């Protein structure tokens, strides 16, 4: 399971960074807008599908 954030404001992100949450989730999963978040989710799904296909071969 992956967690993707969209439109996170500066103050909550600062708090999440200090708490180590951003490192835990991954900086790449914080996206500036919903369109970018959806595109990122699609990329993750495609990569997972490709990895599953490679294991099945």
Longest dimension (CA), the chain: 47
Write phi, then psi, for 34 (nearest 5 degrees). -65, -35
| Domain boundaries of the chain, sorted by first residue | 5-56
Read off the pLDDT of residues 13-51 as tens digits, 9 standing for 90 and up: 999 999 999 999 999 999 999 999 999 999 999 999 999
Are the C-beta atoms of residues 2 and 37 closer than 8 Å to each other?
Answer: no
Total-model pTM: 0.81
The three-state secondary structure class of 27 is helix
- CA dist., res. 54 & res. 46, Å (int): 12
């Amino acid at each position: 399971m992956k967690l993707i954030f969209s439109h996170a404001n500066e103050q909550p992100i600062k708090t999440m960074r200090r708490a180590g949450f951003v490192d835990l989730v991954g900086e790449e999963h914080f996206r500036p807008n919903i369109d970018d978040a959806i595109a990122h989710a699609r990329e993750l799904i495609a990569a997972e599908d490709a990895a599953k296909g490679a294991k099945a071969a």
